[in-house]
Every structure is written in C-alpha cells, then in structure tokens.
Amino acid sequence: MINVLFVSFESLPFVKTGGLADVVAALPQALDHEKYDVKVVLPLLKTIKDKYMSDLHYVDHIYINSGIIHEEANIYNLYLNNLEYIFIENDTYFYRDGVYGYNDDVIRFAVFNNAVLEMMIKCDYYPDICHEHDYHTAVLPALCKIRYDAIEKIRRIKHVFTIHNLAYQGVYNKKVLFDFLGFDYRYFEDGSLRFNDDANFMKIGIVFADIVTTVSKTYSYEIQTPQFGENLEAVLQYRRGDLYGIVNGIDTKLFDPAKDPDIRYNFSVRNYKAGKRENKAAVQESLGLQVRPNTFLVGMISRLTSQKGVDLLISSIDHWMQRDCEIAILGTGDSKYEYQLKMMEERYKTRCVYYCGYNEALAHQMYAGLDLLLMPSVFEPCGISQLIAMHYGTLPLVRETGGLRDTVEPYNEYTKEGRGFSFGPYDLFAMQHVFDYAYDTYYDRPQDWAMLIKNAMKYDVSFSKSAKEYEEVYERALSK
C-alpha cells in the first residue's frame, strides 16, 4: 500500500474559497484505494471548528519551533467518506473568520507547514508521497530536504507539488525564510530559496518538489512562456522534464443533475429537454427575469476580476441586449465591475440581472437552467465552471486558454461535433462574433443545439481519468 498525504489549506466539504477545495475533495476519492492509502491534512480553520468540532477525535499535542516561532498545536482527525482527515488546531493563527487575506498570512502558512512535519514525527506517520497544493504549502518539500533531512523517514518522502494558479505565488521579504521557517542563510545565498531578493513560496515548491503538476496540459505549456509565466517561466522551463499538466475533474456525486437537491427539476441526458425548460423558468423567476421559455438565457458564474474577462462581458452587454436574449450574472469581486453590472441591470430591467454575492444553490440552478455559460478568461489554469455546466447540459462559451481549451471542443456545424463554443484572441470582436454564432445556432439550428447538449452531458467530467494520470505521476516520483 502506498501512503499519500494531501497537504492543503482548504478542501470541501469543510471550507472553500475556490477550485482548489474542489480538487482536494474529489481527487483523493478517485484514486485507487486498493493501492493508495490517502489522508488529507488541513488547518483547523474557524469555519471547520465551529461546525465539526464535536465530531473530531483528539489525537495528540505538538510543539512548533521554527525560527522565532514557538507555538503549540493539537492534532485531531475525522473519518469521512472513506478518508481520514487530519486537522491542526492553533487558534492564534487558524481561528479566523476568513481563510486568507491577513497581514500575518506568511506566519500562518509557516506554522501549518512545520506542524505537518511535527505531526508526522509525533504520530510516527511518514507518507511515501506528500502531495502539496499551491503556494500555501509549497515550502514543505524544502523543509523536508533541508531542515528535517536528518530524519531518514522524512528525507525519503517524495513530493508532488500542484500549481492551481501561478498568479498567486506568496512573495515575501527574505527575512521570513529565517525568522519563520528557520532556514540557514546559505540556502538563500546559493539561490535555492531566493527569487530576486525575496522569498517566493511558489518558486520554492517548483524547485524542491520531485514532480510539479498543474491543472491542464495547455496551462503547463503556457506558464513556460513570458505571457503566462508570471516571472517564473525560466524556473518552470528548468523543471519542464518533471512538469505535467493534468486536467481537473469535478465531484459528479455533488454535481449530478439527476439528483441535485438545489435544482427545481432533476434530469439526465434522456429527459434533458424537460429539465432545461423547468430549470430555466426557475432561474428566470428567482432572479426577476421575464419568464420566457424560448428566449436565449446566457449567464456567468464567476469571481469578478480582470482575469475572468469581465471587461469583455461588460463591453458586450449593450450589443447582446439588441437581440432576443436574457443575461444573468452571479458573483462578486472588483467594486468597479460590481458597479458597472448594477448599472447594466438598471438599464435593462427584467432582461439583465446581476446577483452581487455568491449563492451555492442559485449557482446550481443556473448551471441547470442557462443555455450558455460565459467564460471569456484572459487565462484559466483549468476551470471548474465549464465542466459543471456541460454536465448540466449548459453549453460553455470560452476563450481558448488553459483548461478551457483542453475541455471544451468547439462546435463544428459541418462535422456535427463539439460541446460548446470558443474564440482565440482576447478581444471584443472575437467574443461577439462567437456569441453571435452561438445565438444563431440556438435559434436557427435547434437540432444541432440538441446534439451539442447531448455531447456535453455525455462528456466524462469526473476525476477518474485524471486520477489515473496522477497515479502515473506518483509512480514516477517514487522511482526518483
């Protein structure tokens, strides 16, 4: 049995800020449990503690001494869905209303990474593979290979580090390496831990991990270029022999239109017409749109940031409102985008609506009721929304980047293939052109639209294929 420890700052069903939590929840479940014994370790954040504390089992107590950090922590565990979840309790740094965004985040991450290693020692649990996720846990391979290398059982651990979004790197003053992580200064001097004159957690993870993965094949190529490399392209090119792109999947038990309790009418590919009709009406009613069964219902479910292509969306609404369509947008983000969307809603009452905030049940209902989901991202490491949308019979319109390119096969009216629509250049004309193409297909070629829905719903969006690729990666790591 191969022991694998997932190390992450978030995971469903406990806490989520983005797609990272979906992956850490779904991938361990999809691995071959006859071959892999998988555990997940998380900080005991306030959200988790307030809801689950009565279900947790006390394991042990640890001390964390790292640079000037001298903390204590408790270890708890919980068995859920055939997995063991391990939680590190330290209320000073983890009992916060939010997950990220604090001035002392770097100390919080340092405490967690060191606590994971102290947990291994205290519990005499040494995994064969540590699978670290994003910059919050990226220093763990370096800690194992530098500070804890005298412990043979820790030194032999292989590390797989997954980049979920290269834009978020954890760049801090170099003093954090010595003050909070306890590294010797010579590792900064020789460049191992240095990025310019700072500490960059993402860079450290890329350098010290045995294998580096990211969440789609196209993104793995993109991040080796200056356009998408976020100043780490040279480091990634250096590791390209150990860099793999594996597209994400979704939890098809959580996102199942046939059983989803959050949608009005459950359906499958066999009765999708009734399902789409009833759920479209539910979206229109709940958001105050005109309840018109045949109108083209377009939506976006997203954080409102420039990365997500919100500029193109806002610039296109006036053009789209000249046509027979309705628009529904769910999300929150940059205040300038929120204001502009509120103005658009005011201008086109009952035809364009903006829900400011996030509502999980409404998101499920929109996935089930929309005709077209917009994802005009500048870049998208993988994307989860397009996978959910296709599974619910909503066709995605995406820009050809990262995981969007890898998962959304564009409609070809001549070969009758595809499961969505896509455009290449990031510009307004390109997006409006493909939107018009989708609009015309919906109204003028209904048989093709039906074919696209069936193709989308039959497309395998589960983690089963991806899990096999990760298992191959684990084998490569173990052979190093």
pLDDT digits (tens, 9 = 90+) for 384-400: 999 999 999 999 999 99
User: Rounded CA gap, 230 and 168, in Å?
Assistant: 9
Give residue for tokens 């997500």. 308
pLDDT in the model for residue 105: 97
Q: What are phi and psi of 126, to 5 degrees?
A: -125, 100
CA dihedral 236, 240, 246, 248 (to 10 degrees): 0
Domain contains 411? yes
Domain contains 387? yes
pLDDT in the model for residue 17: 86
**Tens digit of each residue's pLDDT (9 = 90 or more) over 44-77:** 999 999 999 999 999 999 999 999 999 999 999 9
Domain contains 391? yes
User: Rounded CA gap, 367 and 380, in Å?
Assistant: 19
Across all residues in the chain, what is the average pLDDT? Answer: 96
User: Rounded CA gap, 93 and 311, in Å?
Assistant: 37
Angle of helix 360-369 relative to helix 272-287, nearest 10 degrees, comes to 130
**Tens digit of each residue's pLDDT (9 = 90 or more) over 165-200:** 999 999 999 999 999 999 998 989 888 899 999 999
**Tens digit of each residue's pLDDT (9 = 90 or more) over 118-170:** 999 999 999 999 999 999 999 999 999 999 999 999 999 999 999 999 999 99
pLDDT at 358 over 90: no
Share of the chain above pLDDT 90, in %: 95
Domain contains 260? no
DSSP state of 394: P
pLDDT in the model for residue 234: 97
Q: Where does the pLDDT of residue 480 fall: very low under 50, low under 70, confident under 90, or very high at 90 and above?
A: confident
pLDDT in the model for residue 19: 84
pLDDT at 203 over 90: yes
Tell me which residue of 335, 331, 337, 336 sits closest to 303, measured CA to CA: 331
Q: Where does the pLDDT of residue 375 fall: very low under 50, low under 70, confident under 90, or very high at 90 and above?
A: very high
Structural domains of the chain, count: 2
User: What is the C-alpha end-to-end distance of the chain, expressed in Å?
Assistant: 18
Contact 371, 442 (CB under 8 A): yes
Q: What value does the mean pLDDT take over residues 292-299?
A: 96
Contact 169, 135 (CB under 8 A): yes
DSSP state of 301: E
Residue 233 sits in the same domain as residue 285: no
Q: Tokens in use for 298?
A: 């377009």
DSSP state of 225: S
Is the preceding omega at residue 396 within 30 degrees of 0, hence cis? Answer: no
CATH number of the domain within which 310 lies = 3.40.50.2000
Q: Give rounded-to-5 percent helix, strand, coil for the chain.
A: 45, 20, 35
Query: DSSP readout, 129-179?
Result: EEEEESGGGTTHHHIIIIISTTSHHHHT-EEEEEES-TT---EEETHHHHH
Domain contains 264? no
pLDDT at 39 over 90: yes
Q: Which of 109-113, 133-137, 412-416 has the lowest mean pLDDT?
A: 412-416
C-alpha distances out from residue 394 to 321, 331, 403, 457, Å: 20, 18, 17, 9
pLDDT at 317 over 90: yes
Q: Report which residue type is found at 170.
A: G
Give residue for tokens 């997203």. 302
Residue 226 sits in the same domain as residue 291: no
Residue 383 sits in the same domain as residue 301: yes
Q: Give the pairing of strands 198-200 and 171-173.
A: antiparallel
Contact 154, 120 (CB under 8 A): yes
Q: What value does the mean pLDDT take over residues 4-16?
A: 95
pLDDT at 93 over 90: yes
Residue 60 sits in the same domain as residue 107: yes
Residue 204 sits in the same domain as residue 274: no
Domain that holds residue 189: 2-249+464-478
Residue 429 sits in the same domain as residue 471: no
Domain contains 257? no
Q: Tokens in use for 2?
A: 């191969």
pLDDT in the model for residue 479: 94
Q: Tokens in use for 477?
A: 């790591």
Domain contains 26? yes
User: Rounded CA gap, 264 and 453, in Å?
Assistant: 19
Residue 446 sits in the same domain as residue 468: no
* 116: Cβ contacts below 8 Å, ≥ 6 apart: 5, 7, 41, 88, 137, 140
Q: Where are the alpha helices (DSSP H) in 294-445?
A: 310-320, 335-347, 360-369, 385-391, 402-407, 428-444
Share of the chain above pLDDT 70, in %: 100
pLDDT at 352 over 90: yes
Domain contains 241? yes
User: Rounded CA gap, 218 and 406, in Å?
Assistant: 7
Residue 263 has a CB neighbour count (10 Å cut-off) of: 23
pLDDT at 18 over 90: no
pLDDT in the model for residue 471: 97
pLDDT at 84 over 90: yes
User: Rounded CA gap, 382 and 246, in Å?
Assistant: 9
